[in-house]
Amino acid sequence: MKNFLSYFYNISIQDIIKTKNKYKFIYNDNQYVLEHIYLTEEVIMDIYNLNMELINNGIKCNRIILNNQNSPVTIYDNKNWVLMETVNNFEERINFEDIFIFPIKTSYDNFFKNNDWKTLWGAKNDYLEYQINQLGLDYPLLRESFSYFNGLSENAIQLLNNVTNDDLYIVHKRVTYHMTYYDLYNPFNMVLDTKIRDMAEYFKDAFLFKKDILKELDIFLANYYLNDNEKLLFITRMLYPTFYFDMFENITDELKEEKKIKKIIANINDYENLLNIIIDKIGLINIEWLKKDVITD
């Protein structure tokens, strides 16, 4: 890729590091990542425009670099590549505070809107139910556990009848407990959705890694100034088992071994307990089948 960088970006370097679909290097004391992006040129241009709006408004973000043809995307070997100048500490892991303060209120609407949860989740359920029916005797752990997590999803979809989700912020497609600053500030990991999306996904992933999240949960509920609609959206997002469905697809796509799902299945009771704690702290609704003795210590 050294010749690629020299030809398309007039960048000459000695050392470059390859990791999966990315190349990392330092040039003029700045850190860069060249990444293969699985999106069309049109979508990449939309993301570039958002990227420029964020940077021009002083908002921290990895900066997309134009090539010598004044385009944010470079086609090479029939793949779309994008070069970004990254934040300085891009390989360090984020913390709770980073996710807490991130959501960015915006009027920019020419971008991925992920706020129609009812349609998205319904389509996901239909697709995964079809997948289950095609598995035959393969993946017994998935076949045995799917109905429970599909039930959680159906409950979440029912709750969406009582809320609206039109107040949009720049947030993330996915947030994980171990994500890096590169992922946090990567414009290709950003979407338009409700401001509680990131916090809900952070709490779910942190829970799976056995992090004690109750103190952070209290900080979030006390300081995020949620209205009742946003509180219900948070409960709904917590109820929806993103972590299970993501792992399901990783397994059926043969990216992960099926035994990885055991960790999620083993934590069902603890997760129900967490959901009860959240519902009790917020106090707006009851989910009858979840009711049980709640352990708060």
- Do 108 and 252 sit in the same domain of this protein? yes
Q: 110 — phi, psi (to 5°)? A: -90, 65
Number of domains in the chain: 2
Q: Is the pLDDT of residue 144 over 70?
A: yes
* CATH number of residue 76's parent domain: 3.30.200.20
- Do 26 and 171 sit in the same domain of this protein? no
Taking alpha carbons only, the member of 152, 274, 169 closest to residue 217 is: 274
- Do 202 and 124 sit in the same domain of this protein? yes
Last residue of some domain: 50, 65, 85? 85
In this structure, is residue 245 part of a structural domain?
Answer: yes
- Do 37 and 103 sit in the same domain of this protein? no
Distance separating alpha carbons of residues 231 and 220, to the nearest angstrom: 11
In this structure, is residue 187 part of a structural domain?
Answer: no
Q: Is the pLDDT of residue 33 over 60?
A: yes
Joined together, the tokens standing for residue 256 give: 């992960």
In this structure, is residue 296 part of a structural domain?
Answer: no
Q: Is the pLDDT of residue 294 over 60?
A: no
Domain that holds residue 145: 96-179+192-290
Q: What is the 3-state secondary structure (H, E, C) of 134-186?
A: HCCCCCHHHHHHHHHHHHHHHHHHHHHHHCCCCCCEEEECCCCCCCEHHHHCC
In this structure, is residue 297 part of a structural domain?
Answer: no
- Do 150 and 281 sit in the same domain of this protein? yes
- Do 214 and 285 sit in the same domain of this protein? yes
CB 244 within 8 A of CB 125: no
pLDDT for 134:
87
Taking alpha carbons only, the member of 142, 147, 162, 143 closest to residue 236 is: 162
DSSP class of 113: B
- Do 201 and 66 sit in the same domain of this protein? no
DSSP class of 110: S
- Do 104 and 73 sit in the same domain of this protein? no
Q: Which of 107-111, 134-138, 160-164 has the lowest mean pLDDT?
A: 107-111
- Do 237 and 271 sit in the same domain of this protein? yes
In this structure, is residue 112 part of a structural domain?
Answer: yes
Last residue of some domain: 50, 85, 120? 85
- Do 30 and 132 sit in the same domain of this protein? no
pLDDT (tens digit per residue) in 219-248: 999 999 999 999 999 999 999 999 999 999
Q: What is the separation, in whole angstroms, between the first and last Cα of the chain?
A: 53
In this structure, is residue 77 part of a structural domain?
Answer: yes
Give pTM, 2 decimals.
Answer: 0.90
Among positive and negative, which fits the CA dihedral 65, 70, 71, 77?
A: negative
Averaged pLDDT for residues 187-195:
93
pLDDT (tens digit per residue) in 95-110: 999 999 999 988 766 6
- Do 81 and 116 sit in the same domain of this protein? no
